[in-house]
Amino acid sequence: MTKKEQASFPWASVIRFGLGRLRLAPETFWALSLPELIALIGPEVGPGFATRKDLENLMAGFPDRVGPPSAESASRQTHQNHRGSDATLPPARPRSKGDD
């Protein structure tokens, strides 16, 4: 491992996970091979990368709108926040020439 690779490897997090979360003895932790350590850490958490098909599906489901907002979006006074509950939005203020 080069010095640059050593500097970018998250040693503190890996050691904290192995000794703290997995409760491995230091001798056991340092005896692990990289494939064994990766197997203990488990699969990558979170969604994978989006594919072209994923992007096309999003674009089809949420097309860009050109021009003034639709009557539906202009009259909507509530939206769902990231936790799924409704939040009240203030009424939109009219745009004037100086707003750009």
pLDDT digits 0-9 by tens, 20-56: 999 999 999 999 998 898 888 887 666 678 889 999 9
pLDDT band at 1 (very low <50, low <70, confident <90, very high): low
Angle at 23 between CA 21 and CA 28, to 5 degrees: 125
Q: How far apart are CA 70 and CA 63, in angstroms?
A: 13
pLDDT band at 80 (very low <50, low <70, confident <90, very high): low
Range 50-72 average pLDDT: 82
Which percentage of the chain shows pLDDT scores above 70?
Answer: 56
C-beta neighbour count of 71 within 10 angstroms = 8
pLDDT of residue 56: 92
pLDDT band at 11 (very low <50, low <70, confident <90, very high): confident
